[in-house]
């Protein structure tokens, strides 16, 4: 059967496919997402085993092989999920990955119960609607639509639900460490890490494909001293020494550096700006040498962040009493590195800037592998085609993710990883809902998203 499908001409293959009733299918998708949102997978503690069982039951009904994995390694009530819709093996597989956990939600700040999955005022509400259970169900249902329609597959479609993305990424790390064999023939992977940009009228200006991601290199900074009474000042007070070190770090301006994906992003969006800004963005490296252009560009906090390593002083601890000089003082620093930057070199530079051997740096986490994926791929072309068909005036570009996702963990296996969203959301909805209050998604976006991913999967075959 697979060989026959592989050899049939396209016209015959098209005749074998079954049309999808998208109106009915969208209603089914919305109902499944509502039920998914009702599963409380707040991390901590996660309880992703409940989500994994829910998804597996759907996959079982559809006849798609699915497995719940890593329950021992991830701890009580935690799990990863793996499923595969098999093709004829003509091309390598494509994976759809989402995380099943969500960040906490304080019900008193929400208009509705954050785990109600209720439809109200034209939206489906619930923690995870945008980050990222909504994407997960778009992935799931686009794969199911492919199976139901009978489209011959040259690529297997792999569906993965990971635990613990929001805190430690242990779900993805355990999956990659223990199940590299399940990913051996995966060429492409789609997960979170991008937002599409709309104008004031709700029209899509551009679709984003996240090809690069900054690396978190958080540091704990410690100075030890001698405790004593606050009424008797001493040079052994660690607080002033820590403050002096932090002041030097805060005054340091990290060098500007243009990576390939960021260069493409600025060139792409330049078409939306009048002169002279169009020219500046068309050649961002040259523009940064122009004082007027540089000031305008770096005034945008996102643009500034994707053009350099960033350092944010975020935590400070000293004495717990006003009249006590503490035995030590400490701070936490949020450092984000561009993909091609070396963590050891950056840390050595900070130590030179501080120039005080009493100041000790300790990494709070190990940086993930560098991530910058190519754009001259079949999957990138499939995204462009899907965008052209539904948004002829929009373009596709490559902004860098300044936060963190699980993509670098999978990238270390050589998989080309992209962040991709199928939703058309105003920026205000994203900013309010993702990790915020009243997270929600409209039924129109559900319909749009599932068909978008369905087309992307079709066009990669």
What is each CA distance from 377 to 88, 148, 268, in whole angstroms? 21, 27, 18
Strand 119-120 to 123-125 pairing: antiparallel
- Which numeric CATH code is attached to 214-255+309-369? 3.30.70.360
Q: How far apart are CA 132 and CA 427, in angstroms?
A: 16
Q: How big is the CA angle at 49 (ends 368 and 132), to the nearest 5 degrees?
A: 55
Identify any residues that bridge with 220 across adjacent strands, giving them in sequence order: 332, 362
SS (H, E, C) the chain: CHHHHHHCCHHHHHHHCCCCCHHHHHHHHHHHHHHHHCCCCECCCCCHHHHHHHHHHHHHHCCCEEEEECHHHHCCCCCEEEEEECCCCCCCEEEEEEECCECCCCHHHCCCCCCCCCEECCEEECCCCCCCHHHHHHHHHHHHHHHHHCCCCCCCEEEEEECCCCCCCHHHHHHHHHCHHHHCCEEEEEECCCCCEECCCCCEEEEEEECEECEECCEEEEEECCCEECCCCCCCCHHHHHHHHHHHHHHCCCCECCCHHHHHHHHHHHHHCCCCHHHHHHCHHHHCCCHHHHHHHHCCHHHHHHCECEEEEEEEECCCCCCEECCEEEEEEEEEECCCCCHHHHHHHHHHHHCCCCEEEEECCCCCCCEECCCCCHHHHHHHHHHHHHCCCCEEECCEECCCCCHHHHHCCCCEEEEECCCCCCHHHHHHHCCCCCCEECHHHHHHHHHHHHHHHHHCC
The domains of the chain are located at 2-197+205-211+373-390+399-459, 214-255+309-369, 257-308
How crowded is residue 4: how many other Cβ atoms within 10 Å of its Cβ?
Answer: 10
Short-list 430, 432, 428, 425, CA closest to 448: 425
- Each of the 461 residues of the chain gets a pLDDT tens digit; together they read 344 444 444 444 444 689 999 999 999 999 999 999 999 999 999 999 999 999 999 999 999 999 999 999 999 999 999 999 999 999 999 999 999 999 999 999 999 999 999 999 999 999 999 999 999 999 999 999 999 999 999 999 999 999 999 998 999 999 999 999 999 999 999 999 999 999 999 999 999 999 999 999 999 999 999 999 999 999 999 999 999 999 999 999 999 999 999 999 999 999 999 999 999 999 999 999 999 999 999 999 999 999 999 999 999 999 999 999 999 999 999 999 999 999 999 999 999 999 999 999 999 988 999 999 999 999 999 999 999 999 999 999 999 999 989 999 999 999 999 999 999 999 889 988 999 999 999 999 999 999 999 999 999 99
Short-list 22, 29, 25, CA closest to 135: 29
Residue listed under structure tokens 């000042």: 233
What is each CA distance from 143 to 84, 178, 340, in whole angstroms? 10, 25, 34
What φ, ψ does residue 320 adopt, rounded to 5°?
A: -95, 5
Residue 371 neighbours by CB under 8 Å, 6+ apart: 212, 213, 215, 339, 407, 408, 411, 417
pTM of the model: 0.90
Q: Are 64 and 427 in contact (CB under 8 A)?
A: no
CATH 3.40.50.850 fits 2-197+205-211+373-390+399-459, yes or no: no
């Amino acid at each position: 059967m697979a060989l026959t499908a592989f050899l049939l001409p396209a016209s015959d293959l098209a005749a074998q496919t079954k049309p999808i009733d998208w109106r009915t299918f969208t209603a089914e998708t919305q109902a499944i997402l509502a039920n998914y949102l009702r599963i409380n997978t707040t991390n901590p503690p996660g309880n992703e085993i409940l989500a994994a069982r829910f998804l597996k039951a759907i996959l079982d009904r559809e006849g798609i092989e699915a497995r719940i994995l890593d329950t021992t390694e991830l701890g009580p009530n935690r799990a990863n999920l793996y499923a595969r819709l098999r093709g004829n093996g003509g091309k390598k597989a494509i994976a759809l990955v989402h995380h099943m956990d969500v960040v906490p939600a304080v019900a008193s700040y929400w208009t509705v119960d954050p785990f109600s999955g209720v439809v109200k005022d034209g939206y489906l509400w619930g923690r995870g609607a945008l980050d990222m259970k909504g994407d997960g169900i778009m992935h799931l249902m686009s794969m199911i639509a492919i199976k139901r329609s009978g489209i011959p597959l040259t690529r297997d479609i792999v569906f993965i639900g990971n635990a613990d993305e929001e805190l430690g990424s242990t779900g993805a790390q355990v999956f990659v460490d223990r199940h590299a064999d399940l990913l051996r023939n995966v060429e492409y992977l789609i997960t979170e890490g991008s937002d599409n940009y709309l104008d004031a009228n709700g029209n899509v200006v551009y679709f984003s494909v996240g090809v690069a991601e900054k690396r978190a290199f958080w540091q704990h900074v410690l100075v030890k001293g001698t405790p004593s009474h606050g009424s008797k000042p001493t040079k052994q007070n660690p607080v002033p020494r820590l403050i002096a070190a932090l002041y030097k770090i805060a005054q340091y301006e990290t060098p500007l550096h243009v990576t390939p994906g960021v260069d493409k992003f600025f060139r792409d969006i330049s078409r939306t700006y009048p002169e002279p800004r169009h020219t500046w963005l068309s050649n961002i490296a040259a523009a940064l040498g122009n004082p007027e252009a540089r000031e305008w560009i770096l005034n945008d906090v996102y643009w500034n962040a994707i053009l350099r390593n960033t350092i944010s002083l975020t935590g400070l601890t000293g004495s717990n009493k006003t009249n006590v000089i503490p035995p030590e003082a400490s701070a936490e620093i949020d450092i984000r590195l561009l993909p091609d930057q070396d963590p050891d070199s950056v840390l050595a530079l900070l130590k030179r800037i501080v120039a005080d051997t009493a100041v000790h740096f300790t990494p709070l986490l190990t940086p993930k592998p560098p991530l910058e994926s190519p754009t001259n791929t079949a999957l990138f072309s499939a995204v462009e085609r899907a965008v052209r068909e539904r948004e002829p005036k929009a373009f596709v570009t490559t902004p860098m993710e300044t936060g963190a996702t699980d993509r670098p963990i999978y990238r270390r296996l050589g998989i080309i990883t992209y962040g991709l969203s199928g939703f058309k959301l105003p920026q205000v909805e994203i900013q309010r809902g993702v990790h915020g209050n009243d997270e929600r998604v409209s039924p129109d976006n559900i319909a749009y998203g599932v068909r978008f991913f369905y087309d992307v999967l079709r066009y990669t075959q």
